[in-house]
Amino acid sequence: MVHVRVLELFAGIGGFAAAFPDLEIVEAIDIDQSAREVYSANFKHCYSVKEIASLPLEWFSCHRADFWWMSPPCTPFTQRGARRDLKDPRSDAIRHLIHVVASLRPPLVCIENVIGFETSQTYQHLHDRWQQVGYHLHTYTICPSALGWPNRRPRVYCIASLESLPEIPKPILAPRSLREIVDKNITPETHATLWLETKTVDRYFDAMDRVSMANESAMTACFASSYGKAIVRSGSYLETPSGFRRFSPREVARLLGFQDNFHLPDTLSIQRQWHLLGNSLSLPAIRHLIARIIH
Ligand SMILES: C[S@@+](CC[C@H](N)C(=O)[O-])C[C@H]1O[C@@H](n2cnc3c(N)ncnc32)[C@H](O)[C@@H]1O
């Protein structure tokens, strides 16, 4: 891979850094202190806890980064939410970045977000503004389940490049099974808090996303930051002889493609770990995309 200087914006726990350990991350930035705790337990790159909307142009230009990675908050664009788009204060940082990128013209920019981003006013504004200053824009939708990975996490990736980009080939990978993910040592005796109460299962049974290891092609749902708080539409539950249980943070990390040497500090509660992982990235999906652009 060629030498590339990367700016990791909205870095969270470092899904991007974990997917590309050989790239030079010149700085990672996020407002969340607990995300920094996880990031710093795993990577040596400089990590600033700062509000991106408040950073001046000079802050960005002094890094001389060739590639800006950004995964801004999804809430303004999720189809299930209020979709306040540009009116949502959580879009202030991406609006600022649209202006900063148009002014400084870094060679390559990639934005990751939920399905719905590509039809938003924010995307339209970004598209028009960046095209005016000479970018080629490409939008891809990738789900790790289409790469043979047992997890759904469909996401939109918008790439802005000053050079035209190659076609991304259709993936051909050997399917992975849930058996490779599930921790055999988890039992109701060792991890009682992972098990759902019978009354919860009875109440939400039809709406819960239930998976079983008996099914070789079982596919887990997208794990959201609300996993562990909301029962439905937040992730999957594993059927076991002792009832249904949540996936542990380590298993969720595996489903996102993190290696087991990725450290999840014990100082963070299990709810916080689920929250941070639910905000992160699918590593197989971004590798599939980015490895073909930076090579
Ligand atoms: C979708 S998550 C991205 C997570 C990251 N890709 C990862 O691998 O963990 C969005 C991140 O943006 C951060 N964030 C939201 N608004 C921000 C802002 N205005 N300035 C800096 N970071 C912000 C959140 O704390 C969160 O970690």
The 3-class SS string of the chain reads: CCCCEEEEECCCCCHHHHHCCCCEEEEEEECCHHHHHHHHHHCCCCEEECCHHHCCHHHHHCCCCCEEEECCCCCCCCCCCCCCHHHCHHHHHHHHHHHHHHHHCCCEEEEEEECCHHHCHHHHHHHHHHHHCCCEEEEEEECHHHHCCCECCCEEEEEEECCCCCCCCCCCCCCCCHHHCCCCCCCCCCCHHHECCHHHHHHHCCCCEEECCCCCCCCECCCCCCECCECCCCCEEEEECCEEEECCHHHHHHHCCCCCCCCCCCCCCHHHHHHHHHCCCCHHHHHHHHCCCCC
User: Distance from the CA of 201 to the center of ligand 1, in angstroms?
Assistant: 32
Phi-psi region of 282 (alpha: psi -120 to 50; beta: other; left: phi over 0): beta
Instruction: Between 176 and 157, name the one with better pLDDT.
Output: 157
Is the pLDDT reported for residue 169 higher than 80? no
Local confidence band at 3 (pLDDT 50, 70, 90 cut-offs): confident
Mean pLDDT of the chain: 94
pLDDT band, residue 2 (cuts 50/70/90):
low
Mean pLDDT, rounded, for 254-264: 97
Query: Which of the four pLDDT bands, split at 50, 70 and 90, describes residue 228?
Result: very high
pLDDT of res. 14: 98
pLDDT for res 293 = 84
Pocket perturbation via mutation, ligand 1, pick of 30, 34, 92, 272 by most ligand atoms within 8 A of CB = 30
Where, residue-wise, is CATH 3.40.50.150 in the chain? 5-169+283-290
CA distance 80 to 77: 9
Neighbours of 251 (CB within 10 A): 21
How confident is the model at residue 165, as a pLDDT? 81
Neighbours of 169 (CB within 10 A): 8
Q: What is the pLDDT of residue 176?
A: 83
**C-alpha of residue 275 to centroid of ligand 1, in Å:** 12
pLDDT at residue number 284:
94
- The alpha-carbon radius of gyration of the chain (Å, integer) is 19
Q: Return all residues near 129 (Cβ < 8 A) that are at least 6 apart.
A: 98, 99, 102
CATH 3.90.120.10 domain span(s) along the chain: 178-277
Query: For this structure, is 62 an active site residue?
Result: no
The pLDDT of residue 172 is 63
Mean pLDDT computed over 146-160: 95
Residues with CB under 6 A from ligand 1: 10-15, 30-32, 35, 51-53, 71, 73-74, 93, 279-281
Better-scored residue on pLDDT, 81 or 114: 114
Report the residue among 10, 33, 252 best suited for mutation to probe ligand 1: largest number of ligand atoms under 8 A from its CB.
Answer: 10
- Which of the following CATH numbers is that of domain 178-277: 1.20.1630.10, 3.90.1150.10, 3.90.120.10, 3.40.50.2030? 3.90.120.10
Percent of the chain scoring above 70 in pLDDT: 97
CA dihedral 292, 98, 66, 153 (to 10 degrees): -30
The 10s digit of each residue's pLDDT in 115-144 is 999 999 999 999 999 999 999 999 999 999
Inform me whether the pLDDT recorded for 80 exceeds 90. Answer: no
Q: Is the pTM of this model over 0.85?
A: yes
Q: pLDDT tier at 74 (50, 70, 90 boundaries)?
A: very high
Among 46, 62, 74, 158, which one carries the catalytic annotation? 74
Instruction: Tell which atom from ligand 1 comes closest to the C-alpha of 30.
Output: 22
Residue-level pLDDT at 174: 67
According to the model, what pLDDT value does residue 173 have? 67
Tell me the CATH number for domain 5-169+283-290: 3.40.50.150
**CB–CB of 148/171 below 8 Å?**
yes
Cα-based distances in Å from 38 to 19, 21, 46? 15, 16, 13
What per-residue string of b and e applies to 212-232 under the rule 16 or more CB within 10 Å gives b? eeeeeebbbbbbbbbbbeebe
Side chain identity at 177, as an amino acid letter? Answer: S
- Cα separation, 77 vs 111, in Å, equals 13
